[in-house]
Amino acid sequence: MDDIIKILVPAVLSFVVGIVFAPFLEHFLYHFKVWKKTGGKLALDGTEAVEFNKLHKEKETKVPRMGGIVVWFSVFFVVLFIWLISKIWPSAGTVKMDFLSRSQTWIPLFAMLVGAVVGFFSDLLDICPKERELKFYWRLLVVALVSSFLGWWFYAKLGVDSISIPFDGYLYLGMAIIPFFVILNLVLYSSGIIDGIDGLSGGVFMFIFLAYSAIAMTQHQIDLAALSATIAGALAAFLWFNIPPAHFYMTETGSMALTLAIASIAFMTDKMGGGVGLSVLPVVAALLFITVASAGLQVLSKKILGKKIFKIAPIHHHFEAIGWPSYKVTMRYWLLAIIFAFVGVLLSLIA
């Protein structure tokens, strides 16, 4: 029971903090007009994203960016608040509630912090004229550098040199675990483009972190489970203000922080936790991988075959383009995210 309280209390706190903080952030973002000054996007191959711009170009110049601040601010506030309480008024109860631990939560929190800061500056440039935006390849470089450091830390400091194989133990990779971690982070970061429809990314990310909270709890990694639940609670608060019509968008400061955190948590719940956190990641986060795959297939098809597979990539915009209302796309993605999360947790228990 104590472990469940330790997981649920910070989750509720982060939701409350986010609900209270979001209106202040929203006022600030609208007051300073924190949105793109010129609407529209380019496709991944550099050409104009015609179909996308028909659907979303006008809205991009009216809805603020940087809504992801709600998520990481709420998480760090709760983590530090509970840690301070445990230090100022130490008791069996307050010390037990503290989930800031070197063995479980330092790495995902560090990854989240770096993603939040880099993403914030990327968003800051994005609200200026386009020629000042932080190019995609520079963001990928930052993610690769951070991932290289974290991958080295997992390997050299924590002794992680294998990845889980369902029903068959672990596959030894040795130092190859470092580039593996880098590639995983790059793929997950690229999935941040799922932040394209009101309410979509918040719901999908929330169910992913809820799933990993459950996985960590079953592996007795209670601090990590509490952190994952705290992130989910903050995402619920963000979602409160992001459901149609969105008050703000998550953008880079949110998506980069969250995707870097997911990769770290997946690693923490793998060999380190005696589980299969990495093996179930393609299931739990299936919608993220599908998003990246659809965008990649679109680019390859245009370059090799000279034609598009989807009307718009990634695929959630394709559904909009063929006539699905955006709210229908969002709610169906939520349903799928719940199913994938449930199946992923189930697999982690039996694999």
| 243 SS3 class | coil
| pLDDT tens digits for range 10-46 | 999 999 999 999 999 999 999 988 887 766 565 555 5
Greater confidence, 143 or 244? 143
Q: What span, in angstroms and rounded, lies between the C-alpha atoms of 239 and 25?
A: 14
Sort strands 170-172 and 162-164 into parallel, antiparallel or unpaired.
Answer: antiparallel
DSSP 159: -
Q: Quote the pLDDT of residue 134.
A: 75
Which residues have C-beta within 8 Å of that of residue 134, sequence separation ≥ 6? 121, 122, 125, 126
Asked if residue 314 has a cis previous peptide bond (ω within 30° of 0), the answer is yes
Q: What is the pLDDT of residues 209-243, one digit of tens each?
A: 999 999 999 999 999 999 999 999 999 999 999 99
Lowest average pLDDT, out of 132-146, 172-186, 258-272, 275-289, goes to: 132-146
Give the dihedral of Cα atoms 260, 237, 348, 285; nearest 10 deg: -50
The whole-number pLDDT of residue 17 equals 98
pLDDT at site 97: 95
pLDDT band of 127, cuts 50, 70, 90: confident
What is the model's pLDDT at position 150?
96
- What is the pLDDT, as a whole number, of residue 255? 96
User: Which whole number is the average pLDDT over 118-127?
Assistant: 90
Q: Is 164 helix (H, G, I), strand (E, B) or coil?
A: strand
pLDDT tens, position by position, 188-210 = 999 999 988 999 999 999 999 99
Domain, as residue range, for 329? 2-350
pLDDT (tens digit per residue) in 55-86:
665 666 788 999 999 999 999 999 999 999 99
Q: Which residues pair with 162 in a beta bridge?
A: 172
Please give the pLDDT value at position 126: 84
Given a cut of 80, is residue 53 above it in pLDDT? no
pLDDT above 70: residue 346:
yes
Exposure letters 291-318 (e unless 16+ CB within 10 A, then b)? bbebbebbeeebeeeeebebbbbbbbbb
Taking only the tens place, the pLDDT of each residue in 275-328 is 999 999 999 999 999 999 999 999 899 888 888 899 888 999 999 989 999 999
Are 200 and 237 in contact by the 8 Å Cβ rule? The answer is no
pLDDT-derived band at 168 (thresholds 50, 70, 90) equals: confident
Kindly state the DSSP code that residue 244 receives in the 8-state scheme: S
Distances (CA, A) of 129 to 39, 42, 46, 97, 124: 11, 15, 17, 46, 11
At 244, the pLDDT band (50, 70, 90 cuts) reads confident
The residue ranking higher by pLDDT, 137 or 96, is 96
Whether omega before 179 lies within 30 degrees of 0, making that bond cis, reads no
What pLDDT score was predicted for residue 52? Answer: 62
DSSP string, 260-310: HHHHHHHHHTTGGGTS-TTTTHHHHTHHHHHHHHHHHHHHHHHHHTSS-SS
Give the helix, strand, coil percentages of the chain, each rounded to 5. Answer: 70, 0, 25
The Cα–Cα gap between 203 and 214 comes to: 17
| Count of domains observed in the chain | 1
